[in-house]
């Protein structure tokens, strides 16, 4: 006869196998949207430009932790609670979610924290704070997403300034003290301004889905055309802030021209998109147009920040 302890092991084994099986379903991995992390890469690249003694291995490790573990964990966790049926960032036709996605997102979170400890405990704790805020964004107990201006402020700060300082801290093997250092805090806040400009546009094609769930997002509150007007104002504010920073703080007039060159295709696409939206919002306030806005802005800013990083390298 099989003993009770053996029966328990069999049951535990079957349960463990079941969890493993559902975690490795293709749909769960699709919701991690690892490739979508490239849209947050400019923040990491900009932080590199402020590192004086760059250790390549540490920079590579921080890059991998953020873009291959932390962001995918956040994407998967939020997808699990959102349960979107229409298009979301990086997935035009998102598959249905199940418990496996929830477990997989937690595994990726745990891995990011463990790898973060290889840098230092402070960096790992920053990863944890970012993750907790990200969880609160979609979790039904808090669901920051349903508060239009609070979600805009929080998402822009944590994906911008907080991530900038977190990346800088990891690359330089430093800690929380960087949050009160102006030479890190100011450029970090500039990335938040850019994200505050773009954030409402990422919601402009999700009004039906958000309204169905009762999420009063910022774009839904502003309306389609109001979203474009709001974003255009913040694009102007962020552009003026970058120009001020490069001239008054860094004394790098040359950087202004690179920044303006990078923003030119972004603003051109934005203007064309807005023109079509004004004619037919139902057709052009769409997933396809929004994703191309993300691609163009990410590509342009990635190139600019790489160029800026190279030009900030010490000269012998």
The pLDDT confidence band at residue 21, using thresholds 50, 70 and 90, is: low
Whether residue 12 is predicted with pLDDT greater than 80 in this model: the reply is no
DSSP string across 31-73: HH-GGGGGGGHHHHHHHHTT-SS--HHHHHHHHHHIIIIIHHH
The pLDDT confidence band at residue 9, using thresholds 50, 70 and 90, is: very low
pLDDT, tens digit, 9 for 90 and up, residues 97-130: 889 899 999 999 999 999 999 999 999 999 999 9
* Of 30, 71, 273, 229, residue with least CA distance to 155: 71
Q: Check if the beta carbon of residue 117 is closer than 8 Å to that of residue 161.
A: no
pLDDT, tens digit, 9 for 90 and up, residues 214-252: 778 899 999 999 999 999 999 999 999 999 999 999 999
The pLDDT confidence band at residue 18, using thresholds 50, 70 and 90, is: low
Q: Check if the beta carbon of residue 204 is closer than 8 Å to that of residue 276.
A: no
pLDDT value at position 10? 46
pLDDT value at position 6? 46
Task: Name which residue leads in pLDDT, 59 or 30.
Answer: 59
Euclidean distance between CA atoms 31 and 79, whole angstroms: 7
The pLDDT confidence band at residue 22, using thresholds 50, 70 and 90, is: low
Q: Check if the beta carbon of residue 91 is closer than 8 Å to that of residue 31.
A: yes
The pLDDT confidence band at residue 84, using thresholds 50, 70 and 90, is: confident
Poorest-confidence range of 66-70, 183-187, 203-207, 294-298?
203-207
Mean of pLDDT values over 4-9: 46
Angle of CA points 17, 127, 178, to nearest 5°: 170
**Sequence-distant contacts of 181-188: CB under 8 A, at least 24 apart:** 183/50, 184/50, 185/161, 186/245, 186/249, 187/46, 187/47, 187/50, 187/245, 188/47, 188/160, 188/161, 188/162, 188/164
pLDDT value at position 17? 47
The pLDDT confidence band at residue 24, using thresholds 50, 70 and 90, is: low
The pLDDT confidence band at residue 83, using thresholds 50, 70 and 90, is: confident
Whether residue 213 is predicted with pLDDT greater than 90 in this model: the reply is no
* Percentage of the residues of the chain whose pLDDT score is greater than 90: 72
pLDDT, tens digit, 9 for 90 and up, residues 40-77: 999 999 999 999 889 999 999 999 999 999 999 999 99
Please enumerate in sequence order all residues whose Cβ is within 8 A of that of 10, keeping only pairs 6 or more positions apart, or say none.
Answer: 2
């Amino acid at each position: 006869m099989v003993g009770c302890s053996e029966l328990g092991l069999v049951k535990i084994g079957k349960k463990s196998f079941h969890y493993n099986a559902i975690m490795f379903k293709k749909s769960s991995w699709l919701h991690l949207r690892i490739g979508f992390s490239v849209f947050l890469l400019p923040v990491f690249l900009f932080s590199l430009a402020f590192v004086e003694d760059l250790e390549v291995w540490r920079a590579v490790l921080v890059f991998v932790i953020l873009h291959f573990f932390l962001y995918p964990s956040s994407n998967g966790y939020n997808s699990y609670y959102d349960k979107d049926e229409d298009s979301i960032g990086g997935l035009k036709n998102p598959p249905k979610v199940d418990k496996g996605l929830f477990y997989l997102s937690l595994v990726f979170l745990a891995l990011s924290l463990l790898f973060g400890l290889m840098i230092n405990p402070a960096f790992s704790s920053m990863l944890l704070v970012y993750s907790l805020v990200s969880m609160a964004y979609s979790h039904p107990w808090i669901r920051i997403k349903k508060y239009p201006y609070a979600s805009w402020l929080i998402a822009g700060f944590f994906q911008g300034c907080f991530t900038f300082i977190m990346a800088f801290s990891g690359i330089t093997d430093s800690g929380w003290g960087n949050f009160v250092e102006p030479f890190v805090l100011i450029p970090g806040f500039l990335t938040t301004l850019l994200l505050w400009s773009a954030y409402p546009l990422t919601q402009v094609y999700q009004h039906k889905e958000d309204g169905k769930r009762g999420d009063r997002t910022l774009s839904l509150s502003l309306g389609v055309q109001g979203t474009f007007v709001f974003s255009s104002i913040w694009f102007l504010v962020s552009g003026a802030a970058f120009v001020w920073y490069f001239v008054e703080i860094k004394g790098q007039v040359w950087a202004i021209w690179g920044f303006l060159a990078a923003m030119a295709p972004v603003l051109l696409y934005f203007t064309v998109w807005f023109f079509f939206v004004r004619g037919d919002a139902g057709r052009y306030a769409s997933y396809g147009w929004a994703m191309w806005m993300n691609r163009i802005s990410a590509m342009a800013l990635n190139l600019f920040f790489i160029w800026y990083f190279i030009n900030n390298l010490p000269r012998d």
